[in-house]
Amino acid sequence: MPHEAKQLSAEQFLLTTLVVQVAIAAVLSTMLVRFPWFRRILLTEKRDWPERLIFAASLGVPLTAGVGVRLLMNFNPADLTLAGAFLAGLLAGPYAGAIVGSMVGIPALIAGEWIALPFAVGCGFAGGGLRELCPKEAIWHFSPLFFTDLHRNVWRLVRRFQIDWVVILVAAPIGLEIIRQTLGHRFGGARLFYLSPPTVWLSVLVILATVLCVAVPIKIWNSARIEHRLQEQEKLLMAARVDALASQINPHFLFNTLTSISSLIRSKPETARTLIVKLSGLLRRLLRSQEHFVTLREELEAIDEYLDIECIRFGPKLRVEKAIAPDTLDIVVPSMLLQPLVENSLKHGLSPKIGEGRLTIRSVRQRGHAIIDVIDNGVGLSSVPAERPPSGGIGLRNVNERLRVIYGANYQLQLDSVPGEGTCARVVIPELTVPARITA
């Protein structure tokens, strides 16, 4: 024999309605905050009229649809008239609140609930008026867990006669819900929609649900605001770190070059003069370029100017070779990335070497990455395991840190050195071409 369906009592049905109502408010606010244009509106406290209208429309349209669902399908949790109109006014001002109140009140007015429109508009103006009075940041402190510190806030208000905006923000929707209950009992549910609790404790829960329908969206939207600000702060921090690292390269290179020039002034004055001319041209290029990222082609042009200086210093002892894949020339790389690697090869690898030194710069594309090698046949480095980031030298540490800051911890400078045979410094970075150029 089939089991008979168990009917919910009036108390159980009302409690279920309240839970679903708060859940709908949370889902709606979560859906809205996923749109970038809505997040941008939340981030600005001073909004112009187009932004207010967009905010009112984006909030008012689903709320109006909820009133329609309640009227057509008798689904009471979908009606968020009080919380929605008050929330619009609280976040976007009295006129936005009045617009949302009008949008949600008109369908109910057409259905014969003639108190609904003035009540909804009044809720919008109440939220807007409260926004004009209280500090803007205090609104974002309104949390669903307001009751945890409510007793302290009330005591501070009573003892010190100091305005506590949390108490006022909580009291506003409570007062509006009490007004709705009073009007509903006076004129009946046919003139104004309200949830009629049969007991006192359920009346408390109805009021609590109204407060939560306001506090939950504010909490969700405030979390999105904080997350966005943290992302912006991370971008600014990364840009600052890149600036600091890049600023270390030029003085390091300039110091070494000037040291070389000073050693040639007496013995080879013409060579020193030529080096100064080459150095001034390279410095002019560095001063003109303020970008953190350049194409590999531009980076190689800067390296050529640097190698012109070094070839004058080394003379016929230095031979430079390039094996650059044509499809890598437009790949975007951090500016001044290769110069420290080339300088390290010349200073620590080829300078102590007896006989001809060979420096090779090579680049290829492989599986979505660009691989750039700086290879020398110098004396090599002692005790440097393959694929291990360098631990010494300003230039190499700088390059390694820049790669980690820009691309993440998985991208590091790889050194492979064999004493007496040479060193290979390898940089592997994500493949990024000119049309998708990025800035720090």
Domains and CATH numbers, the chain: 10-232 (no CATH), 265-436 (3.30.565.10)
Residue 387, pLDDT above cutoff 80: no
Range name among 86-90, 214-218, 430-434 with the lowest pLDDT average:
430-434
Range name among 67-71, 112-116, 250-254 with the lowest pLDDT average:
250-254
Q: Write down the mean pLDDT value for the chain.
A: 83
Residue 288, pLDDT above cutoff 70: no
d(CA 382, CA 35): 55
Q: Which amino acid is at 404?
A: R
Q: Are 86 and 172 in contact (CB under 8 A)?
A: yes
- For 314, the token pair is 């080394």
So what's the pLDDT on residue 9? 83
DSSP bridge pairs for 357 = 318
Q: Which amino acid is at 141?
A: H
So what's the pLDDT on residue 247? 53
- How many Cα atoms sit within 13 Å of 113 on the Cβ side? 25
Report the predicted TM-score, pTM, of the whole model to 2 decimal places.
Answer: 0.59
d(CA 10, CA 33): 35
Residue 392, pLDDT above cutoff 70: no
**pLDDT grade, residue 426 (50/70/90)?**
very high
Q: What is the mean pLDDT of residues 293-314?
A: 82
Between helix 49-73 and helix 81-92 the angle, nearest 10°, is 180
Give the residue with greater pLDDT, 147 vs 24: 24
User: pLDDT, tens digit, for every residue of 44-64?
Assistant: 777 788 888 999 999 999 999
Q: What is the mean pLDDT of residues 305-315?
A: 77
Q: Which amino acid is at 54?
A: I
Residue 176, pLDDT above cutoff 90: yes
- Strand, coil or helix: 137: helix
Residue 113, pLDDT above cutoff 70: yes
In the chain, the percentage of residues whose pLDDT exceeds 70 is: 83
Q: What is the mean pLDDT of residues 401-420?
A: 84
Range name among 134-138, 141-145, 197-201 with the lowest pLDDT average:
141-145
Least Cα distance to 209 among 68, 12, 14 occurs for 14
Between helix 81-92 and helix 94-110 the angle, nearest 10°, is 160
Range name among 28-37, 82-91, 282-291 with the lowest pLDDT average:
282-291
DSSP bridge pairs for 320 = 359
What Cα–Cα distance (Å) separates residue 163 from each residue in 149, 160, 219, 266, 384? 15, 9, 22, 79, 66
Q: Is 367 exposed, middle or buried (0-12, 13-18, 19+ CB in 10 A)?
A: exposed
d(CA 430, CA 425): 17
So what's the pLDDT on residue 59? 94
DSSP bridge pairs for 427 = 372
So what's the pLDDT on residue 337? 83
H or E, element range at 184: helix 165-187
Q: What is the mean pLDDT of residues 308-335?
A: 85
DSSP 213-256: HHHHHHHHHHHHHHHHHHHHHHHHHHHHHHHHHHHHHHHHHHHH
Residue 100, pLDDT above cutoff 80: yes
d(CA 386, CA 304): 28
Q: What is the mean pLDDT of residues 364-380?
A: 90
